[in-house]
Amino acid sequence: MTVKAKREPSVLLNPADLVTDFDPDAGLAKPDSTSVRRLRDLGGMFRDQAAFEATCRDENPLVYTVQVFSPRDHEGDLSLGFGRLEPGTVGDEFYMTKGHVHERTEMAEIYVGLRGRGVMLLRNASGGHTRALDLSAGKIVYVPGHTLHRTVNCGDEALCYFGIYPSLAGHDYSSLQRIGFDAVVIRSPEGPKVLGKGEELAVTR
């Protein structure tokens, strides 16, 4: 019996969709989508609720922008998210992303630090303690599947990075509410500190 080779669909239908310019500071020249998070979108996520309410009372500052480059979203495809996280704090806690685990929880992601000083918080979705990894300019962080991930800007300028992930990974923010991160990144006179249950955590560099 002859087995016919499976024909793969051509992906090079429109090469113009497969290339884009980018700038490590400003992001992608032609993103397929852009989303913006302001401080009020992050309600309940900072430890100092009074400071959060005071900061949000009169204004709703921009916290981060994500531009997505996703030419195709079939099984096996990849997408790239350019993140720009502004500098700032709520009380003494640095601005951060919401954080999520992928809906397709087994799917991993690679982060590339492009500009600024940052930390990634990673936590196994089934529990265990939060780990902190350096995501400053020049660093690459591998986020395994089944891992809750959040980005924190612990510098005084914008933190810019790429996240490269399977297009079908999806975002699950509800696990974040259930599990959360048991660590915060704060400004201190000695510099940024990651505090786990009352004790300082080392940042893996």
Contact residues for Zn ion (CB under 5 A)? 109
Dihedral in degrees, nearest 10, Cα atoms 36, 40, 44, 49: 140
Both tokens of 126, joined, read: 């089934």
Q: Is 100 in the site for ligand S6P (CB under 6 A)?
A: yes
Residue number, 136 or 151, with CB nearest to Zn ion? 151
What single letter denotes the amino acid at residue 39?
L
Evaluated on CA atoms 87, 125, 168, 80, the torsion sign reads positive
Q: Do the strands 27-28 and 22-23 form a parallel or antiparallel pair, or are they unpaired?
A: antiparallel
Q: With respect to ligand S6P, which residue has the nearer C-beta, 13 or 80? A: 80
Residue from 28, 39, 45, 66 touching ligand S6P (CB under 6 A): that is 66
Tell me which stretch binds ligand S6P (CB under 6 A): 10-18, 46-54, 94-102, 177-185.
94-102
Contact call for residue 81 and ligand S6P (CB under 6 A): yes
Question: Which two tokens mark 58?
Answer: 């009169």
Beta bridge partners of 166: 78
Cα of 187 vs its chain's centroid, Å: 20
Site for ligand S6P in 125-154 (CB under 6 A): 151
Structure tokens at 70: 């996703």
CA–CA separation, 134 vs 23, rounded Å? 21
Beta bridge partner(s), residue 47: none
Assess 118 for contact with ligand S6P (CB under 6 A): no
CB of 170 to ligand S6P, least distance (A): 8
Query: DSSP secondary-structure letter at 15?
Result: G
Q: Does 98 bind ligand S6P (CB under 6 A)?
A: yes
CB of 177 to ligand S6P, least distance (A): 12
The reply to whether 181 sits near ligand S6P by the rule CB under 6 A is: no
67 contributes a contact to ligand S6P by CB under 6 A: no
Closer to ligand S6P by CB, 31 or 163: give it.
163
Per CB under 6 A, residues contacting ligand S6P are 66, 81, 83, 97-100, 109, 151, 163, 165, 169, 171
